[in-house]
């Protein structure tokens, strides 16, 4: 449920980010997959892990498809491309 509850906050987050941009804001990718390790001290470990898609089993489910559709419905209205 928290995944879908977070959809409501996406628009507010984008509206805040748009205030810092002088160009159109682009949000990409929309995924549950981790993009990098922000806690890594070695730059090589901050890179995307190709096996990390397996870290969230919801990534290949209809739940994720519905969450993605919800994101796509909310983000353009908030001012993203």
Residue 24 maps to a domain = yes
* Alpha-carbon distances of 9 from 3, 15, 16, 70, rounded to whole Å: 11, 10, 11, 12
Q: Roughly what angle, to the nearest 10 degrees, separates helices 7-18 and 62-74?
A: 40
Residue 52 maps to a domain = no
Q: pLDDT by residue (tens digit) across 19-71?
A: 888 877 777 777 877 666 666 676 665 555 555 545 678 888 899 899 999 98
Residue 38 maps to a domain = no
Q: How many domains does the chain have?
A: 1
Residue 12 maps to a domain = yes
Residue 15 maps to a domain = yes
The boundaries of the domain holding residue 71 are 1-33+57-81
Q: pLDDT by residue (tens digit) across 59-71?
A: 888 998 999 999 8
Residue 45 has a pLDDT of 57
């Amino acid at each position: 449920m928290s995944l879908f509850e977070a959809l409501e906050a996406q628009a507010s987050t984008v509206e805040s980010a748009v205030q810092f941009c002088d160009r159109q804001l682009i949000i990409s990718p929309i995924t549950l997959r981790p993009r990098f390790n922000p806690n890594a001290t070695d730059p090589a470990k901050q890179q995307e892990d190709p096996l990390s898609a397996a870290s969230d089993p919801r990534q290949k489910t209809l739940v994720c498809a519905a969450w993605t559709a919800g994101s796509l419905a909310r983000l353009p209205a908030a001012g993203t491309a």
